[in-house]
Structure 1
Amino acid sequence: MNLRDRINNDLKEAMKTGDKTRLETIRSIRALILEFEKSGSGKELTSDEEIRILTSAAKKRKEAIEQYRSANRNDLAEKEETELKIIEEYLPKQLTYEEILEEVKKIAAEINAKEKSDFPRLMPLAAKTLKGKADGKVIKEIVEKFLSIN
């Protein structure tokens, strides 16, 4: 089942159960998908595009959570956290810190990256390999840490 079908099924289910937050969040994801399809770019909605759309939506929620927390608006931050959890249900399972580190080590070994100067070669490969499975900030942090230790 592709993302569009899954979203439509979950949208119907959220309407039946009356879960307003879930309904709003799923509608926002559906709107992003429709916006992509009607963008006129002629691109097909691939799994990579689905992940990009969902990752972007999750990133916006994370940024909003930080801003609301710094402004002492915990009520709004909690709403964003709930929406983030719903969005994450549609994303691939997120890797743990240790799993990301292991992947970075494998990639570094393949391209013989050992020094800080190897960052421009290692980071793009790590980001591409772990796309959708880990947050970009975490990947960058791990790559920098790995290269500074070696």
Structure 2
Amino acid sequence: MALLETLNQDMKQAMKNKDKETLSVIRMIKASIQNESIKLGKDTLTEDEELTILSREVKQRKDSLQEFKSAGRDDLVIKVENELSVVKRYMPEQLSEEELIKIVQETIQELNASSKKEMGKVMSAVMPKVKGKADGTQIKDVVLQQLK
């Protein structure tokens, strides 16, 4: 089922349940998707483009979460954590550490990379393979660990 269809169904359910927080987050995601489709001049987005938008939404909330934690704003931390959990429902299942290491190792072998100088080349090859299935920071850490 397409992401927009799922969002519309979940939005209806959130309205029925009077779940204002979930409803608000779903509306934000839908707005982001609509803005992107207008920007790209398309009626519908590909799954890859939708995934990019969801990843951006997750990243924004993670950044906000760190800012609020460092500022001691516990009220906003809880709100953003709830938003993050709603957005993550629409993301693909995340890769385990072992799966990510295996993908990185295979990519390093394909590229014959041997030093940290080649990290950019490895990262640019790994990112499309794991798009939306792993956090960028986690990927960077694994690549650094494998390129000794």
1:90 partner amino acid: Y
| Counterpart check, 1:79 vs 2:73 | no
- Worse-superposed segment, 44-53 or 116-125: 116-125
Per-residue deviation at 1:60? 0.4
Q: Residues of 2 paired with 1:86 and 1:96: CA distance?
A: 21
- Give the RMSD, CA atoms, in angstroms: 1.2
Show the counterpart of 2:132: 132
Q: Give the deviation of 1:46 after TM superposition.
A: 0.3
- Aligned counterpart, 1:109: 109
| Equivalences for residues 1-150 of structure 1 within 5 A | 1-39=1-39, 41-43=40-42, 44-148=44-148
Shift of 1:63: 0.4
Quick one: distance in 2 between partners of 1:135 and 1:65?
Answer: 15
Distance of 2:125 and 2:30 partners within structure 1: 30
- Give the Cα separation in 2 of the matches to 1:124 and 1:93: 21
Structure 2 CA distance for aligned equivalents of residues 98 and 71 of structure 1: 34
Q: Which moved more, 1:61-70 or 1:139-148?
A: 139-148
Percent sequence identity is 40
Structure 1 stretches of at least 4 aligned residues deviating more than 3 Å after TM superposition: none
Cα separation, 1, equivalents of 2:135 and 2:66: 15
- TM-score (norm: length of structure 1): 0.93
CA apart distance, 1:114: 2.0
CA shift for structure 1 position 83: 0.7
- What's the offset of the Cα at 1:50? 0.3
Q: What is the number of equivalent residue pairs in this alignment?
A: 147
Gaps in structure 1 of 5+ consecutive residues: none
SS state at 1:55 partner = helix
* Distance apart, 1:27 and its partner CA: 0.7
* Distance (Å, rounded) in 2 between the aligned partners of 1:97 and 1:79: 28
Find the aligned partners of 1:104 and 1:21 in 2 and give their Cα distance. 37
* TM-score normalised according to structure 2 size: 0.94
Superposed CA deviations along residues 90-115 of structure 1, whole A, max 9, x for unmatched, are 11111122221111011111222222
